Structure formats: C-alpha cells, structure tokens
Structure 1
Amino acid sequence: MTFVTRLLARPVAKGWGRSGWVPAALVFAGAVAVFLWCGVSVRDVAAFVAYVGGAVALPGTLVWRALAGGGRSPAEDVAAGLALGYAIEVLAYIPARAVGAPLLVLVPPVVVIGIFVAVPGLRRHWRGDRSGERMPGWCAWALAGVVGYLIIWSTIHLYRVPVTAAYVDMPYHLALVGEVKNHMPPTMPTVLGERLAYHWFVYADLAATSWVTGIEPVTLVYRLSTLPMTAAMVVLVAAIGRRAGGWWGAGVAAVGVAYFLFGPVLHEDVVFPTRSMFTAWASPTQTFGALLFAPVVLLLVGGRRPWAVLGVLLLALTGAKATFLPLLLAGLVVVMAVQAVRRGPWREWVGPAAMTSGCLLIAHVVVFGRGAHGTVVAPFATMRDLWGVVAGVGMPELASVSAVPLLVLTVVHLFCLACVWGGVAGLGRRVLEPPVLLLLGMGLAGIGAVVVLGHPAASQLYFLEGVRPYLSIAAVCGALAAWRPAVPGGMVALGAGGALLAWVVEVPGGPLVRVVVPYLVLGVAAAVVAWRRRHVLAVVALLAGYAVPASAWEVVGHVLPDEDRRERLIPAGARAAGRWLREHSAPGDVVATDLHCRYPQWRTCDSRHHWVSGFSERRVLVEGWAYAESTQSRTELFVTSYLGVPFADPARLAANDAVFRAPSAENVQHLAQKYGVKWLFTGLNPKLGRFAQLRFRNGTSAVYRIPER
C-alpha cells in the first residue's frame, strides 16, 4: 500500500493539473453545452443552475459544515450539502404545497443563508475548513472522467432522444411530477382515487424546482434533474471510500468498481444480476434515495453523530427510497451484535438504529399505508425469472419449477457477486472494525433481499443496487489490507488470464449445463490458484479478470447509439394536446380517456400508459394501472405478469370505455355525475362531438369538454 500511495501522491502536473476546480469546471461546462445542444433553452439552464446551486446546494452545504463538521474537500462538502439541501427542500415543500403556497419552499434557504450572513460565528462556513486535507488533483480528474462518461451515456440514451420515444417509464415519472406539483397528499394520477403507495419525494423536488424556476416538468424529467444527483453520488462514493480506505486512491478505486465492474456473462442473454448503477434517469427514485443515503453512511463510517443532520436525511429517505432503511438497519444491527460479543462500545450505535427503525415505521405506515406494493417473501424469485430465460419456461409453468435448478443458479449468482466484490476476503482483522461491519452488514442484507424477496417487476434488485457502492468500498478496503508490494505484476497476469478464460470458455449441452458448467470451470480455476498461490489477492485478481470482458462490453455498450431500438409509441400531437388541456383546465379537473394500453393491437393490455396524465398534469379516471398498488398486490408471482392483470374496478373501466366506443348523452353524463369527469381525451373520434364539446384537435389527438347540466 505504501508503494501505491507514494506513486499516486505524486503531482500529476504543475499548476492547473493539481487543482480540483479545473476538472469540475470542465464537467460543468460540458454539461451546459450538452443541455443546450439537446434543446434546453439558455433561460432554463440558467434558472436550473441558479436554483439548485443557490437554493439547494448552498444552504445545504452551509448547514452540513456547521452541524456535521465539513469534509476533507470542498467537493465532498458540496456533494453532501446538495443531498442535505434536497432533503430540506422536500420536507419544506410538502407542507408548503399542502397549504396551497408552494413557493414557501424558498423560506428555509432564505433563512439559512440569512443566518449564515448575519451571525459572525457562522461566517467561516462560507469558506470551509482550509486547514483540512484536499482532494488530490489526479483524483478530481478521475472522478470528473466518471461523471463525463455518465453525461455521454445520458446524452445518447435520453437527452438526444425525442420525448415521444424515450424509455417506457419516463411518462410515469412525468405524471407523478404533475401530481405532486398540484396536489398534496398525492394520489395515483392515472387511476383516480388510488393511493400513491410509492417513493414519491423525488417528484416533490422536481415540482418545487418547477414552481420556483418556471421550468416545464418535461424538461426537468427528460433532461435536467438527475444529473446533479448523479454527479454528487460519484463524489460521495469516493469520499466514503477515502474514509474507509484511508486514502483517496481507495475512493477512486471504489468508484471504479461500483460503476464499471459487473459479473461475468458466459452465456448469451443470461445475466446473473450484479445490478448496474446506470439507472440514474430510468429510476429517479433510486438515484435520489441513493444520494440522500450516502451522507448517512459517510457520517457513520466517519464516526460522527450530528443528530439533526441524520434525522433530516433519514426522514427524507422514508419517502425518497425507503428500501435503504432496512439495509441500514441491518448494517447497524450487525455492528451492535459484533461489538456486544467483543464487549466493545456498541451503545453508540443504538441511537442511529433507533432513528432508522422509527423512520422505517413512518415509511411503512404513512408513506406506503402498510402496503408492500407487490413485494413478498418468495425465495429464489430472482433465479426463477432467470430459469425462465435459461430453459424457455413461461408462466404459469414457471411457478412449479423444482427448487434444484434454482439453488444451482443461486450458487452461480453468488459466484458472480464474488467476481465483483471478492476483495472482501482480504479484510482480515479489519472485518471487525465497526465501519467495515456496517458496509458488510448492508451488503449482506442487499444480497439476502435479492435471494429471499420477489416482486412482479423484479424490484427486489434495487436492494442489490442500493448496496453496490458499499460492497465496492469494502472490497477495495479488503484488497488494500491484503496488498503486498511484490505482487502487482502477478496480479495483472492473473487478471488478464482470467479475462481470457472467461472470454473463451463455452460448453455445449442442455440449458442448465450450458449455463452452469462454464462458471464451474472458472470456479475450479480459482480454487487451483488459491491452493497454489495461497494469497487472497491472487484469487481476487483472477475473479475480477473473469468479470472484465462482460464489464467492458457493458461499459462500451452504454455509450453506443441505439436508434433502431427506440419505440415511438406516443403520438406526435400528444404533447401539444396535453399542454392545451393543462392550460385550459383547473388542477382539480378530472379527465377520462380510452388510452390504456401501450400496444393496442396486443391481446393482453400492457397498461404502462401514463402520458395523458403526464402531459396534461391532470388526474385521469382510468389511464394506465400497471404500477398501481391495486394491480401489484393482485399479481401472483410467476403465474401471470403484472402487465396482464386486469383493472381492479371493471365497472368503472366499462363505464369509462363505453363513452368512447358508443357515446351517448346518458353515458357521458354518467361519468360527469358519478366520477366528476369534465374532460375527454382521445384520438380522433367524431361521434363524441354530438355529446361533448370539441375544444382541441390536431392530427392525432382530440380534447372534449363535457357540458354542464
């Protein structure tokens, strides 16, 4: 470790090469250029930067420095401060929106900034701790490179993609922003009256941003919002790695493992999930929750307990992404148990555990209404899904598959995880240190959740994604603990050999044989190396080498264009029709539509249809119901897909659709009187004009107003 530390501690270049501000400025300028190139106006970019920088990051950073003691670099302070600022913003917006004055969300930042200007003893926090350690320039450049890669990936797969052809869940996110922007408490915008048992706090951030800046929600969802969260998360992973590993090189290595190392893929189309971090915009709830969670881990690993900061972050996590709370609680329980057995200071961990338990209870009762949103105890559900791909078994036969192949696939899955995080085997006595125990406890809980839990949309995998950074940090710490100056050349050779072996190994035979035997070959090779070399790093290098080919393909694949795969399922005139409806209706108006299925020609309805509500920012009587609690909770795992579950209220759906299929004065007025429907949104339907007033029409969409009686 001493050799590597000295090597990386050398200045990369004189002057600007040492400064962390230069790479940060380049990334910022690149991001601005990308957004302008992708159609975001100068006004919107400037307003977004001013709001996130001045009303979220700045007050959050000041409070972080005052209460948490600041970090080891300005980048760490700003990243943690941004997370804290988001938490404060969301917790302020909820009551502000509830009383009908959403702009009151600006009160906390104004008060914080005013206090830190007026109070002499607090003014030093504007500068930060100049006596502390600074992030080395080479580290700043490395992290800037990671963020730059994520910008390129996002540009290719989202920013440059037309709104009508973006990822399937983007209209769902847009609909939730419109709901939280106009209503509190929110409900499911595409199913009138349905409880929103979902992680929705990130949409409160986007709604607050839209209210303050005037930026359209569609611009925030499809372009601007998640990039600051993604960039700050990269910095915080490095900062936690620095805390746990003792030097900035550990932080950079942890970022590399977390973002760019994936399990080996030895069979076409069969991937044992090690869960990529590349869900930044596809799952803004995961991105937002991960960002709020990282400063909590940073504080606990660093041994600090600023209770007010921990309380705000944990409370915000209840609705940001509550899946992080059981992971944290598991890690804290492991720390307390081991410390108690060793007669160590375990009581200092009771406070964080109690706070986490209380917030978990709040999330379960208040946010989710005691519902599980389809998550159930279903051992080996992840591998059952994979077996369906391996053996070509569909539903409902998949529900009765023997446990034997599932157990075998689970063992292979754990082997794949070891290829990514095998470094934890080198921790030695460090495994007893509370910060390392915390990381490992959370990691084991995430892996256990993937093995034990099931969900109709495989959402149990988010538990594994949630702990990916912390397992990566633990693995890097283990590799450093086992490091010896004489082994670098041999490790490189073993890693290269492992990559070559993983690239060429292939076995013919039945489905289970074709999938399992190549991994068995790799496992045997690792066992031989462990027996002959008798050094943990030799095995770790070989296992990591197995992961290199698939990782390289994954990383390169995310920055390759995919024009041919984009589905344009939203009509060209839909956005204009939705915007017209928003401008000519009240937030409380109810809309009815006959648009429910993404693929109308299919026999079963893929009800992930949300763009009517998304573009209009209005509640819809029945649009898409795939993500509703009433759908997810009725889905029987491996018997039927949640996409094929019919709507929970057939009578309402029949009354709704009758208006569009066979309109009459009676059924149109029935919707108005029973459900409060005022508007009808559909395609071109001339028959409706006899019973409702045509108010808007373009080449693909029409909006009708139901006359009052």
Structure 2
Amino acid sequence: MTLAAPESTLARLRVSPGRGTWGPAALVCAGVVAAFLWCGVSVRDLCAFAAYVGGGVALPGTLLWRGLAGRGRSVGEEVAAGLALGYAVEVLAYIPARAVGVPLLVLVPPVVIVGVFAGVPGLRRHWRGCAGGERVPRWCAWALAGVVAYLVVWSTLFQYRVPVEAGYVDMPYHLAMVGEVRHHFPPTLPSVLGEPLAYHWFVYAEMAATSWVTGIEPVTLVYRLATLPMAVAMVVLVAALGRRLGGSWGAGIAAVGVTYFLFSPALVEGAVFSSRSMFTVSTSPTQTFGALLFVPVVLLLVGEGRAGPGRGGRAWWAALVVLLAALTGAKATYLPLLLAGLLVVIAVRVAVERRVRVAWLGVAVMTVGCLGFAQFVLFGQGAQGMAVSPFATMRTVWGAVAGVGMPELASVSAVPLVVLTAVHLFCLACVWGGVAGVGRRVLEPGVLLLLGIGAAGIGAAVVFGHPAESQLYFLEAARPYLSVAAVCGVLAARQRVAWGRAAWLATAGAGGALLVSEVEFGGGALVRVVMPYLVLGVAALLLWRRGSVLAVVAVLAGYALPGSVRDVVAHVNPWAERRERSIPKGALEAGRWLRAHSAPGDVVATNLHCRYDWWQVCDSRHFWVSGFTERRVLVEGWAYAESTLSRARPFVRSYLAEPFVDRARLAANDVVFEAPTSENVRTLAQKYGVKWLFTGINPALEKFAQLRFRNATSSVYRLPER
C-alpha cells in the first residue's frame, strides 16, 4: 500500500463508513479479555472497569468532543479523542469531589453530559456515528489492531503477568500515590509524612476515581487495568494526526510505525544513544496519561488542513481549556513542549506574513497561564531535581563507555561530551531524518507546531539534567510529533525517488549498519564509540551529495532497522529474564489488613526504608508499605521526595545515596524497632502522631505495642492510646 499525497486523497476519501472494520477491534478486545483473565483479573472487575470507562468516561467524552470540537474524520478518532476529553473531565471533577469528602460526586458530570445530549433536540445528532465521514480502510484497521495487540502482548509478559511482589521498581510508588489521592486532599508524599508533593498526580486522581466508582482494588488498576485504554487511544490518535497532516491513512499508519517501532541505531555495546521508546505504557502512568491528553490538543490546533486554531468558535475553545487544565497536573513535560511549538509558529508566521492570527497568541497565553499555575500552585515551585545541565545525558553515556564513575564523571572535559552529543543527534536523524524533506510545508502552522515540539524535546534532552535522567521524558513526549513530521517530509520528497529504490536503499543501509557493528575499531573509548557512526555518517553524506533527500532518509532509516528489529523482538520475548521478587510475599496481605483495620488519617511507622540491605548505600525507593496500606507513613522511602532530589548532586553522588533530610525524625523512628522502650514508643505516638507499626518479625515490640497481625514475613502493631 503506497502513501498518497494530501492533494490526491482528500477528495476521494470522504465516503461513508464501511463495514468490516470493526472485526479487528473485536478480535483485539477478545484478546485483551483473555489476557487479563489469564493474569488473574476477575470477571467482575473486568466488567465493572469496562462499564465505567466506556459509559462513564468515553461516552460523555465522545459526545463532548463531537459537540465542542466538531465531527472527526472517523468514529475511531472521535472515540479516542473523546476518551481523552472524558478523562480530563473526570479528573477535574474528582478533585473538588475529593476536597469536599464525597468522591462519588465525580459521577455527576458524566450523568449531566449524557442527560443533556439525550434531552436537548439540537444535540441528539451527536449520538450518531461519523455519518458522511471517511471510511477507515480494512488494512489500516488491521494494522492498528496489530500495534495494539503487540502492546498487549508486551504488557502481559512484562507487567500484567508479573507478580505484584516482582513488579517494576516504581510501581509501589504509583500505588502509594493512588492511595494518597484516594483518601486525602491536598495530597502530600505518602511515604514521608508532611513532605510536599511536587509531582504530577492527576493520573492518580483518575485511578482513585475509578476505584471509588467501581470498587476495584487500586493494585489491580495500577498493575493491570488502568493504562491500557490510554495506550490504545494513543495509537489511534497518532494515526489520526498522521492521517490529518499526511493526507492519507497510509501516512497515519507510517507515523504509528515510526513512533512505536523505529529506534536509534545501536552499533557499540554499552553505548546507548537513546531516542526513547513508547514502551513506558504500564510502568509510567503519568507519561501515558499526559501523552494521551496532549494529542487531542495538537489535533485541535492543527485543525482541518490549514484552518488552525479557533475556527470552531467558543465551543472549540472550551474543549481546549478542559484539556489544558487537565494537562497542568498530568505530566510536567507537555506544557513546555506545547509552548515551544506555539512560539515557533508565531515567530515564523510573523517573519513570513508580518502578522499572526490572534488565536495562536491566545493559546500561547493560556499555556503560559497553565504553566504558571502548575509550577507555583500544584508543584509548589518544586523542580524534582530537574536543572539546567548541558550534556548531562551524554555524560551518563560517557561514564558507561569509558568506565568513569562518580565523582570523577562530574569533571569530565567537554570535548567527549560534545562529540557524543553530535553522535546522538546523528542517531536521532536516523529515526526522524524525513523531517529534512518537508520543504515548503515547513511554513504550514500545523507542521511548524510539530517541528517546534520536536525541537524542544530534543533540546531539553541536551540542555537539562536530572538525577534519574528524567530529562529524557521530554524526548519521549516529542516522539510521536517528530514521527508525524518525518512522515510528512518523506511524502513531500517522494516524487524524486521511487518507493522500490527507497526500499533497496534502506536495505543497503541496514546491511551497512550490521557490517560496521561487527568491526572492532582500535583506539580509546571515544574513537571506539564514534568510528562506526562516523563511517555511516560519511556514507550518508556522500549519498546526499549525489542523490535526493529521500534517498538519504532511506539509508539513515536502514541504519536504525537492525537495532529496531532486535528491540521489537526482545519486547515480546517470552523467555526473557524476569525480575526477582523484591517485596516479601506476605506484604500485600499485611498491608490490606492494616488498611481494613485503620482510618485513612492514621499514621504508620516502619523500619523498612531500603530495597536492598546489601547495597553500600540505601536504595530508598521503598514505597510498598504506603502503597499496600493506603496510609501515610512517618518515614518509608525518600528517594523521590523534593527534599531529596533538590539536594542531589548529579554525577557527584547518586540521589539514591542521599540520606533522609530529617536525621532526628529518622533516628526517633528507627530506634523504636531496634531498641524499643516505653519512652521512645511514647515519643513516636505523641510527637509524630503514629498509631501503627509495620515491620518484619520483631518480637521485642510486643512488650510495648499490641500485636494485631502477623504472617510469615510481616507484623503489624498498634501503639497504646496517648
């Protein structure tokens, strides 16, 4: 199937929806149900989750999207965008509902929306499907179903099927955050009593709302159910954006393929010049949620063709306001990228036309306002360790390839860092080199917006640094938009090279990358890493001097193919090494017992702070006590606390080696478990308000606290009343 240019396809694709495209969706749904049942999700939970997400989120959201943003080009696009808008409404409704102590008030907006659209005669037409819209080709429906099926298989093997006790290191943190937002407003960091929460938490509000309405355990939502609808809708919306700007469903599918399956070439072992993947679906709910909310914003701004923002009247602005409001606390990476894209559009349009539409300025002002509210209100001016630190990403790579550790890594010369950054940009060009072919389309506001978002994502990965390398989330956030822009560039440049020749050039590039990766270059660490990329770069440069843009893009993409194939296969390899259990097997049972026998406002103390006792430093990413109990803990894990990350000195000492900021509190906490006395137990209860102790097997505590629960690994004690 060839990719048609916009001019040749728009007219002939405006046909009514056809039959036969729902089969792939039905097949994927059946596979999802089978996967969740295999992974231990009950039939009751599956039905309740599907009913709520479908009837309480997607249905009202789709009606709103049709009413505010106008008809989409396909039912799939409308439902996916409607799901995102429905999530935004849900979160914005849950926050005041939780604040007044009646979380089930979150149901009021969807009931009102459905009632209004059913009762008002002028709005009833929005219940009908995309009549008069274009038909999604069957091959396209099957292609999208294949991508979703791949994500389901990957998630099943590496997340859903994995026992809770062996889950990804951050999953207990996400669970603890859901428990916090489920019971408290305003939220604080549950693993450190009283610690301000300088973190994007709206996705946890979404999960908390779902738990209240459906009765599903938060652990089932976090570890299994919640993020999959977001990921599926994201796939559909990336295809819709690619189709809208590329002019054909072939362009949409190509954009999805590049977004999910094309990665930077890996030619030297240990040297990872990452272009980031989208496979943080289950392990980073904040990224997944923010990504979903962001695509409809871009769709609204891109509009139909060159319509741009604001052509839908006040209703259009209402949809944008709701989505931007939800984005303020969904993921901190997206609003800065949006602002960068808007500024690029404004600057170029002013330079070209000596004027700019007021709507673009209005959206930019709104974005600045949302950014200010997020930073100064939601995040309390916290930065979570993000700071201006040029070449921090490449400093980490240099440490891996040259064997340089901390603190020497902090004083490395700028020369290797600059060279490695150039290599990194070359690797990104292998994925998104098609951007070079956009030609005159670079003046279109929609294309400019994507390029601005992409440039900001790459720039942030180069300029900023974070103790846990979170600056790379900017690059991941920009990935879909760079992919769509690259596909548009390929389509714009396609006239000069036949697709057959481009395929042969890509194959030749893949062969060259495989050959170069097998050659061992002598010299120092920098030469060994740079030479394979330099050889391939020179080859691409010579081809560019003699060929067309598309020929060079094809070769560059070929360089990325071998590593991409390896990664894609590895993500669904059922024999891949699994994570070992890092949480005691009886911990979940003990945590649920304490949750059932305590009040949400009760404070728990524990001596469990470190994930591994054999580390030379305490890996304080320990959050399962607060996660399983849904209670605030005096001191559990402090790795992600603002007070920890703000003190971290990247490349001098790991943030995991930072001690707890309040030594006196930690000492008062731990002495109760190490050498309990009536006095120190009383201090914990009276000074810090602790009511419960959660620990391992510790018989010495029975003299000073009442043992209420014990299994093979965990004990729960109740402190005497003050």
TM-score range relative to shorter protein: over 0.9
Whole-Å separation in 2 of the counterparts to 1:345 and 1:594: 60
Match of 2:152 in 1: 151
How many residues align? The count is 704
SS at match of 1:319: coil
Equivalent pair of 2:4/2:247 in contact (CA under 8 Å): no
- Which deviates more, 541-550 or 119-128? 119-128
Match of 1:408 in 2: 419
Structure 1 residue 555 corresponds to structure 2 residue 568: yes
Whole-Å separation in 2 of the counterparts to 1:489 and 1:330: 37
Structure 1 residue 570 corresponds to structure 2 residue 583: yes
Equivalent pair of 1:331/1:438 in contact (CA under 8 Å): yes
Structure 1 residue 433 corresponds to structure 2 residue 444: yes
Whole-Å separation in 1 of the counterparts to 2:264 and 2:357: 35
CA deviation profile, 1:250-279 (whole Å, cap 9, x unmatched) = 111000000000010001121101000100
Give the Å deviation of 1:21.
Answer: 1.1
Map 1:630-649 → 2, pairs under 5 A: 630-649=643-662
Equivalent pair of 1:507/1:513 in contact (CA under 8 Å): no
Match of 2:468 in 1: 457
Match of 1:113 in 2: 114
Give the Å deviation of 1:310.
Answer: 0.5
Match of 2:536 in 1: 522
Code of the residue aligned with 2:546 in structure 1: it is R
CA deviation profile, 1:66-108 (whole Å, cap 9, x unmatched) = 0100210010000000000000000000000010000000000
- Which deviates more, 301-310 or 420-429? 301-310
Map 1:635-674 → 2, pairs under 5 A: 635-674=648-687
Equivalent pair of 1:3/1:485 in contact (CA under 8 Å): no
**Of 599, 612, 635, the match for 2:612:** 599
Whole-Å separation in 2 of the counterparts to 1:3 and 1:83: 28
Equivalent pair of 2:328/2:371 in contact (CA under 8 Å): yes
Code of the residue aligned with 1:325 in structure 2: it is L
Match of 2:337 in 1: 327
CA deviation profile, 1:517-545 (whole Å, cap 9, x unmatched) = 00000001101111222x10100000000
Equivalent pair of 1:340/1:346 in contact (CA under 8 Å): no
Equivalent pair of 1:178/1:617 in contact (CA under 8 Å): yes
Equivalent pair of 1:176/1:189 in contact (CA under 8 Å): yes
Match of 2:380 in 1: 369
Map 1:141-180 → 2, pairs under 5 A: 141-180=142-181
Whole-Å separation in 1 of the counterparts to 2:123 and 2:662: 58
Give the Å deviation of 1:247.
Answer: 1.2
Structure 1 residue 609 corresponds to structure 2 residue 622: yes
Q: 1:635 to 1:539 in 2, by over 3 A?
A: same
CA deviation profile, 1:430-482 (whole Å, cap 9, x unmatched) = 11111000000010001000000000000000000001000000000000000
Give the Å deviation of 1:18.
Answer: 5.6
Match of 1:138 in 2: 139
Give the Å deviation of 1:607.
Answer: 0.2
Structure 1 residue 122 corresponds to structure 2 residue 118: no
Q: 1:563 to 1:687 in 2, by over 3 A?
A: farther
Whole-Å separation in 2 of the counterparts to 1:657 and 1:128: 61
Give the Å deviation of 1:367.
Answer: 1.1
SS at match of 1:478: helix
Whole-Å separation in 1 of the counterparts to 2:119 and 2:333: 40
Give the Å deviation of 1:561.
Answer: 2.8
**Of 456, 464, 485, the match for 1:474:** 485
Give the Å deviation of 1:317.
Answer: 0.5
CA deviation profile, 1:272-317 (whole Å, cap 9, x unmatched) = 0100010001110000000000000011111243111100100100
Match of 1:423 in 2: 434
Code of the residue aligned with 2:218 in structure 1: it is P
Q: TM-score, normalised by structure 1?
A: 0.97
Q: TM-score, normalised by structure 2?
A: 0.96
Structure 1 residue 701 corresponds to structure 2 residue 710: no
Q: 1:5 to 1:437 in 2, by over 3 A?
A: closer
Code of the residue aligned with 2:563 in structure 1: it is A
SS at match of 2:611: coil
Match of 2:690 in 1: 677
Give the Å deviation of 1:322.
Answer: 2.3
**Of 523, 543, 548, the match for 2:556:** 543
Aligned sequence identity (%): 72
Match of 2:546 in 1: 532
Whole-Å separation in 1 of the counterparts to 2:357 and 2:423: 36
Whole-Å separation in 2 of the counterparts to 1:25 and 1:378: 48
Match of 2:634 in 1: 621
Structure 1 residue 72 corresponds to structure 2 residue 82: no
Code of the residue aligned with 1:114 in structure 2: it is G
CA deviation profile, 1:604-632 (whole Å, cap 9, x unmatched) = 00000000010000000000000000000
Equivalent pair of 2:644/2:655 in contact (CA under 8 Å): yes
Whole-Å separation in 2 of the counterparts to 1:37 and 1:455: 38
SS at match of 2:328: helix
Whole-Å separation in 2 of the counterparts to 1:29 and 1:485: 44
Equivalent pair of 1:191/1:620 in contact (CA under 8 Å): yes
**Of 320, 328, 335, the match for 1:318:** 328
Whole-Å separation in 1 of the counterparts to 2:3 and 2:83: 35
**Of 391, 398, 404, the match for 1:387:** 398
Q: 1:238 to 1:564 in 2, by over 3 A?
A: closer
Whole-Å separation in 1 of the counterparts to 2:500 and 2:80: 36
CA deviation profile, 1:497-519 (whole Å, cap 9, x unmatched) = 11011112123222111110000
Match of 1:689 in 2: 702
SS at match of 2:329: helix
Whole-Å separation in 2 of the counterparts to 1:623 and 1:211: 26
Match of 2:313 in 1: none
SS at match of 2:613: coil
Code of the residue aligned with 2:637 in structure 1: it is G
What do you get for the CA RMSD once the two structures are aligned?
1.7
Equivalent pair of 2:521/2:531 in contact (CA under 8 Å): no
Equivalent pair of 2:3/2:248 in contact (CA under 8 Å): no
SS at match of 1:704: strand
SS at match of 2:404: coil
Code of the residue aligned with 1:204 in structure 2: it is A
Whole-Å separation in 1 of the counterparts to 2:217 and 2:345: 46
Q: Structure 2 unaligned runs (5+)?
A: 311-315
Give the Å deviation of 1:601.
Answer: 2.0
